Amino acid sequence: MNNTSKKPLLQVENLSISFSQYFKGTQKRVIRPIVDLHVEIGEGEIVAVVGASGSGKSLLAHAVLGILPGNAMWEGRMLYRGEILTEERKAQLRGGEISFIPQSVNYLDPLMQVGKQVQIGLEKSVAQGIQKELFQQYGLKESDGKLYPHELSGGMLRRVLFATSVREGGRLVIADEPTPGIHPEILSEILKQLAQFSKKGAGVMLITHDIMSALEIADRVAVIKDGRTVEIAEAAAFEGKGERLKDEYTQRLWRALPQNDFDLEFQRKDVGMQCL
Ligand SMILES: Nc1ncnc2c1ncn2[C@@H]1O[C@H](COP(=O)(O)OP(=O)(O)OP(=O)(O)O)[C@@H](O)[C@H]1O
Ligand SMILES: [Mg+2]
């Protein structure tokens, strides 16, 4: 965390998250999938968060946004613009200064036309115009606006989700896997859009399995394994054989990419094919 050049926007320190669960009917147990996460995002900075499926990336996002499930408890410290992020503050910031692009398309309302959903939260007089612009930007046809979520493909839904979530004037954008199943052209549009936000001074947390795409725009990369941050590396350190990466896990993650050594054994055992 040697982020001295940029003013800190979001700081997460020693975050742990546990869930209380009932099993066998009445017995209660506590599980703790998140043990020690930390991440810091400066103004105008893009930090990619990478790690295997189940490592805790979405929970990190949900904790910052204050949308963890009711049976979750968290400990640690979260600061936004230098002030403690209380649950009340999170609720105020959510959807305004802090935008969220969720991982699941289930966040869309199945009973509302997608065009209308993009207009939510926009001023009435300009809502339709902005929706049209956003649809054009993300390669959606005007007529798609009249469709319901179940009538759209997975890739189209992700683009709609992006259009509903991201608003001008946000200071922090949290994007949870915004790109799977997306056409390369739209992928590059989404990355460009995130880079644009950072140029305007917003901080971006980009959660992704796609390290190569993330490296196109990220300043730093936080690597998460089993609910712990193992390393926060400069994006530039992901080069060559990864000699400049400090943690062994990060080095292996990097070398497992097809364009590097393609360490198949590591992919199977430690990361799972789907995350690369
Ligand atoms: N509501 C919950 N109750 C209990 N455990 C949970 C709950 N939500 C998540 N977990 C556990 O926490 C861990 C981290 O989950 P999380 O969804 O953050 O993973 P992720 O890194 O986002 O994975 P993916 O890349 O597949 O989206 C997982 O082991 C998961 O089983
Ligand atoms: Mg996730």
Are 88 and 202 in the same domain?
yes
pLDDT, one tens digit per residue, over 211-232 is 999 999 999 999 999 999 999 9
Give the number of domains in the chain.
Answer: 2
Alpha carbon nearest to ligand 1 atom 16, residue: 56
- The verdict on residue 41 lying in a domain is yes
Reply yes or no on whether the pLDDT at 174 is more than 90. yes
pLDDT for residue 1? 43
Does residue 102 have its Cβ closer than 6 Å to ligand 1? no
- Tell me which residue range forms the domain holding 131: 104-168
Does residue 59 have its Cβ closer than 6 Å to ligand 1? yes
pLDDT for residue 274? 41
Reply yes or no on whether the pLDDT at 189 is more than 50. yes
Are 22 and 124 in the same domain?
no
pLDDT, one tens digit per residue, over 110-165 is 999 999 999 988 889 999 999 999 999 888 999 999 999 999 988 888 889 888 88
User: What is this structure's pTM?
Assistant: 0.88
The dihedrals phi and psi of 79, each to the nearest 5 degrees, come to: -125, 140
pLDDT for residue 7? 86
Alpha carbon nearest to ligand 1 atom 26, residue: 53
Helix (H/G/I), strand (E/B), else coil: 229:
strand
- The verdict on residue 261 lying in a domain is yes
Q: State the sign of the Cα–Cα–Cα–Cα dihedral 49, 53, 58, 59.
A: negative
Are 48 and 90 in the same domain?
yes
Place of tokens 């490592």: 55
Residues forming beta bridges with residue 31, ordered by sequence position: 19
pLDDT for residue 187? 81
Are 130 and 246 in the same domain?
no
pLDDT for residue 102? 86
Centre a 10 Å sphere on the Cβ of residue 24 and count the other Cβ atoms it contains: 7
Helix (H/G/I), strand (E/B), else coil: 97:
coil
